[in-house]
Amino acid sequence: MNISTKSRITMRVIALGYLFVLLLLPIGLILFRTFERGIGAFIDSISTPAAISAFNLSLLIVAIVVPINVVFGIVTALALVRGRFPGRGIVQGIVDLPFAVSPIVVGVSLILLWGANGWFGGIESLGFKVIFGLPGMVIATIFVTLPFVVREVEPVLHEIGDDQEQAAATLGANTWQTFWRITLPAIRWGLTYGVVLTVARSLGEFGAVIMVSSGFPGVSQTLTLLVHSRYIDDHNTFGAYSAATLLMGIALVVLLAMTALDRKRSTK
């Protein structure tokens, strides 16, 4: 299909205008509000005890969630690609469930399960607090990031097939040796890409986390909750902009890492 020069220019202008209004303009406004008082004020705002605690808690959640999702994601992807078992379609649907369910619904469900009056609420009598504590925030984040590793590793497994794995088994390699020396190197780029997406979503999750967090500064407040608290509760718009800029900076680093990995993978 031939497209005239005028049509191409029009489409480019529309696309750039769309990106400018919905993406660049809001980000530019936040950056302007953040640094209008100078870099020193920004540093002071993100170095308060509440901000440092929120930053550390966000990184802690990422450090817990990513290894769990890596193990679960690889095992699930291998089961879906290499295995044939009853209920396989149901498992496929469960993996994609976080894409369809609102994070708020996830938070409410966790409260119904792990809250004081929930099905498993009795665990609090043992001194293990899930809701309004770190465990609840980790569970909520695990749920919303569940599909990323699976969906990035699964197509790679389809692409490489199982010929090399069968050859290794024929030569006497056990299951672990085959996975470590054959399967894992073959899926490393898909796995890495899934990890990057998991990190990005874990850092930016708000809906599910706010439902299961007390939101107290220094206790169970992540960076996203810090932005919400400063803007809505404290009416500290500058502090909210500063925290949002810090979060954007981390997200930008993750995005650049994802882009670099994607380019490196495409050259392999």
Asked whether the predicted pLDDT for residue 88 surpasses 60, the reply is yes
Task: Decide if 46 contacts 246 (C-beta within 8 A).
Answer: yes
Task: Decide if 124 contacts 130 (C-beta within 8 A).
Answer: yes
Collapse the DSSP code of 133 into the 3-class scheme (helix H, G, I; strand E, B; otherwise coil) and give the result: coil
Which parts of 120-174 fold into alpha helices (H)?
134-144, 146-160, 163-170
Quick one: what percent of the chain has pLDDT higher than 70? 96
Tokens of residue 64, six digits: 């817990």
Task: Decide if 246 contacts 223 (C-beta within 8 A).
Answer: yes
Residue 262 host element (H or E)? helix 237-267
Span 203-220, pLDDT tens digits: 988 988 998 888 888 888
Query: What region, left, alpha or beta, does residue 217 occupy, with left being phi > 0 and alpha being psi -120 to 50 degrees?
Result: beta
Span 164-186, pLDDT tens digits: 878 877 877 777 888 888 888 88
Span 115-124, pLDDT tens digits: 877 778 777 7
For residue 73, the model assigns a pLDDT of: 92
Task: Decide if 227 contacts 13 (C-beta within 8 A).
Answer: no
Nearest-CA neighbor of 243 among 49, 54, 39?
54
For residue 267, the model assigns a pLDDT of: 64
Span 127-150, pLDDT tens digits: 778 888 899 999 999 999 999 999
Task: Decide if 107 contacts 209 (C-beta within 8 A).
Answer: yes
155 Cβ partners below 8 Å, 6+ apart?
Answer: 190
For residue 56, the model assigns a pLDDT of: 93
Euclidean distance between CA atoms 76 and 92, whole angstroms: 9
